[in-house]
Amino acid sequence: MHLGQEEKLEHIRQGDIRALARAISLIENDIEDYSPLLAHLPPSTVKIIGVTGPPGAGKSTLVDALIGHAIARQKKVAVLCVDPSSSLYFGALLGDRIRMSEWYNHPDVYIRSLSTRGSLGGLNPRIIGITDLLKTAPFDDIIIETVGVGQNEIEIAGLADSTIVVLAPEAGDDIQSMKAGLMEIADIFVVNKSDRPDADLFVHHLRSMQSPAFRREARDVPIIKTVATERQGIDELASAIRKSLEREDHSSRRYRMLAECAYLLIQQDRMKGVSRQELAEKIEASMKAGSFNLYRFVASFT
């Protein structure tokens, strides 16, 4: 590994937030080849907590409460917020960070927003390397909050050691449609805004879905009721997270999800040098010449 990269890695290990932020920016924007650095990252015991769920369930408010719980116990926390991105410019809208503004300048909290950049799985395409880099820094907990995009949002399970699926009581009508994807990745269900009407009925329906066919490895998935705005249920949730993280996951599901991560990394490597802007310019020129055919155009790149 290049000496300069070793120095960068050492700065990150020592808790240099500026060095960490710069490295994340370079990885996210593919400005510098960080593959040698990532290939030499040491093994880490830091666990990843994934928070996902449909829009409006209160994921950001819940993460804000979990940060407060960790700080009260003198823990250092890193949070990656994967925000919706502009369909044209792929920049993060940064909405999640507004809800966590209390922690902006806290010395033991690092919050970073990333855009999905068109990814259908709810994650930034570079998040695998970014997450592994974060695990090198001196954080006790790393939380990844993903944009709520429905049942396609299952990539988080390949990164997280414990995946929390956040739902709200009014999501009851949509449970069956979510069951095939988003619902099946949960290590913990959180019913947020549980002070609303029909919350207990919603919990009952959620529990009844956990038939033997739905349970993973013949175990129940905990259901925690919270009111994140009032910090209610956060202690119980934190306890459930600790228990989930203590459990070793050697299931075939875990290996399949890691295979998905490997697939994404291989895909990214093979797509290097192909830019959307360049594609748009070539398509424009071809269409103006009257010779554009999508399938011939794609074949020219394979």
Question: Could you tell me the pLDDT band of residue 215, with boundaries at 50, 70 and 90?
Answer: low
For tokens 């950001």, the residue is 60
CA distances to 82, 98, 182 from 108, in Å? 20, 18, 31
Q: 68: which 2 tokens?
A: 């407060």
d(CA 226, CA 229): 9
Top-confidence residue, 94 or 133? 133
pLDDT at 66 over 60: yes
- The whole-number pLDDT of residue 206 equals 84
d(CA 37, CA 248): 28
Average pLDDT over residues 7-25: 90
Q: Is the pTM of this model over 0.75?
A: yes
Whether the Cβ atoms of residue 268 and residue 125 lie closer than 8 Å to each other: yes
Q: Is 259 helix (H, G, I), strand (E, B) or coil?
A: helix
- Which among 93-107, 139-153, 192-206 has the top mean pLDDT? 192-206
Average pLDDT over residues 161-182: 72
Question: Could you tell me the pLDDT band of residue 151, with boundaries at 50, 70 and 90?
Answer: very low
Average pLDDT over residues 28-40: 77
What would the pLDDT profile of 85-98 be if each residue is shown by its tens digit? 444 344 444 455 55
Average pLDDT over residues 50-58: 87
d(CA 62, CA 53): 11
Quote the distance between the C-alpha of residue 248 and its chain's center.
20
pLDDT at 231 over 90: yes
At CA 166, angle to CA 263 and CA 67, rounded to 5?
A: 90
- The whole-number pLDDT of residue 84 equals 56
- The whole-number pLDDT of residue 212 equals 53
d(CA 273, CA 42): 29
Whether the Cβ atoms of residue 228 and residue 234 lie closer than 8 Å to each other: yes
- The whole-number pLDDT of residue 299 equals 86
- In this structure, what are the phi and psi dihedrals at residue 248, rounded to the nearest 5 degrees? -75, 130
- The whole-number pLDDT of residue 287 equals 92
Instruction: Give the type of residue at 186.
Output: A
- The whole-number pLDDT of residue 251 equals 61
Question: Could you tell me the pLDDT band of residue 180, with boundaries at 50, 70 and 90?
Answer: low
Q: For residue 83, count CB atoms less than 10 angstroms from its CB and return exposed for 0-12, middle for 13-18, buried for 19 or more.
A: buried
Q: 231: which 2 tokens?
A: 């910090």
Percent of all residues in the chain with a pLDDT value above 90, rounded to a whole number: 34
d(CA 47, CA 25): 22
Top-confidence residue, 62 or 98? 62
Q: Is 82 helix (H, G, I), strand (E, B) or coil?
A: strand
d(CA 163, CA 154): 10
Quote the distance between the C-alpha of residue 252 and its chain's center.
21
- The whole-number pLDDT of residue 89 equals 40
Whether the Cβ atoms of residue 15 and residue 107 lie closer than 8 Å to each other: no
- The whole-number pLDDT of residue 90 equals 43
Question: Could you tell me the pLDDT band of residue 155, with boundaries at 50, 70 and 90?
Answer: low
Whether the Cβ atoms of residue 164 and residue 52 lie closer than 8 Å to each other: yes
> Regarding beta strands 162-167 and 141-145, do their DSSP bridges make them parallel or antiparallel, or are they unpaired?
unpaired
d(CA 68, CA 168): 21
Find, among 64, 266, 257, 60, the residue nearest to 161 by Cα: 257
What would the pLDDT profile of 236-259 be if each residue is shown by its tens digit? 999 999 999 887 665 666 677 677
Average pLDDT over residues 265-277: 80
